Chains A and B, each alone.
Chain A
Amino acid sequence: MSRLHYTDLQLDALRELANIGSGTAGTALSSLLGRPVVISVPNAAALELADAVEAAGDPEDVVWGIAVTVGVDLDATALLLVCEDDADAICAMLGVDADNEGGRSALQEIGNILVASYVGALATMAGFELELQPPVAARDMLGAVVATVLASNSDGHDLALLLESELEVEGAACSVSFMLLPTPEGVDELLNRIGLGA
């Protein structure tokens, strides 16, 4: 089962895919908010699940988590994490209030657009057929949000592959963390498509 060991070459390739995906997602976020967006160098790592939860940050911090399940050729969940202040700032830019239903819908829609652009770029590159489920949102403890997604995604495996990018909105001091969490089968499929399969 848990054969989740990846070579440096495979991780580099996955990081490059994340780079392409987050670049496209950053462009989408930029045109949505009308501001430049800076994208960090993505991180690709295979972590033990409890370590992956810890890597996300203080587990009791309250954040917005927007999750989108990706299916058909690539089994994965994409998770956007936005701290409360940044969610307020982003909602203000869009003229809605993060505290009401309008704010939730706006954040879900941002999740939808970012995930569609990110995985859309991967789909074009790797020749995937992909389908996105409607976005779902939670405003809660970071640890609870991340652990829930990891647990349902893990299929009983002990390690998870995280592709993580940071999208920072320039001049607004706010950022969005974007995580793509492929299932173990999803990672294999991704590697196969780019010719680096086991």
Chain B
Amino acid sequence: MPELVVRMGELAISTTTGDVLVCIGLGSCIGLALVARSGQACGVAHVMLPDSGGRRADKAGKFADLALPALLDGMARVGVGPHSLDAVLAGGAQMFEGSTGIEIGARNEAAVRAGLAAAGIPVAAAATGGNNGRTMRVEVGAGSVTVREAGADEETLRPPSTKPLRGEAPWA
């Protein structure tokens, strides 16, 4: 399966079944996944900072306040409106225990959640906060999202979308 690595500040959208969108080593950054409920289209942003402060960014995924509109725009372009999307979040950790000044994980998460709430997109699952870095994988087609911490097993955040079977009676 082709893995498309979404690096810090980047954003990617795919409708190709089997593509896997990956954010590797999320620390204070947030991996924001928007998944069409059918699973057929997925978008991921690797958000680095909560607020652009009106600045222009050379990468659309960098700031939470710019990343979400850019993702929604991209999803709309592949025919998925905001009302058929689930959000899944990973990251936003406080990597250095006991530090104060260099932590933006919690602020990143708050900014992303506020944006999603304003856009009316439900957060289906999240693995956020804590002190550990994470890698998030989003499988296009299935619409499944997994997360893994260092030295741990992969965990399912969003199970594959269930597809209605053709010809099967709903009561069967």
Contacts and interface: CB of A to CB of B under 8 A. Distances in A.
Contact of A151 (B49, B52, B53, B99): B49
A44 to B, nearest CB: 21
Interface in A40-97: 49-50, 53-54, 59-60, 62, 65, 67, 69, 77
B101 A69 contact: yes
B37 interface: no
Interface string B55-90: 101110011000000000000000000000000000
Contacts of B28: 147-148, 151-152
A143 B24 contact: yes
A67 B135 CA distance: 22
A46 B48 CA distance: 19
Contacts of A99: none
B99 A136 contact: yes
A98 to B, nearest CB: 14
B113 interface: no
Most chain B CB atoms below 10 A, which of A2, A65, A136, A153:
A136
Interface string A131-154: 001101111111111111111111
A54 B134 CA distance: 16
B143 interface: no
A133 B102 CA distance: 11
Contacts of A144: 25-27, 93, 95, 132-134, 150
Interface of B: 7-10, 24-29, 48-49, 52-53, 55, 57-59, 62-63, 93, 95-99, 101-105, 131-135, 150-151
Interface of A: 1-2, 49-50, 53-54, 59-60, 62, 65, 67, 69, 77, 133-134, 136-154, 156, 158
17 contacts: A49-B8, A49-B48, A59-B24, A69-B99, A69-B102, A138-B96, A141-B25, A144-B27, A144-B93, A144-B132, A145-B25, A145-B95, A148-B28, A151-B29, A153-B102, A156-B49, A158-B59
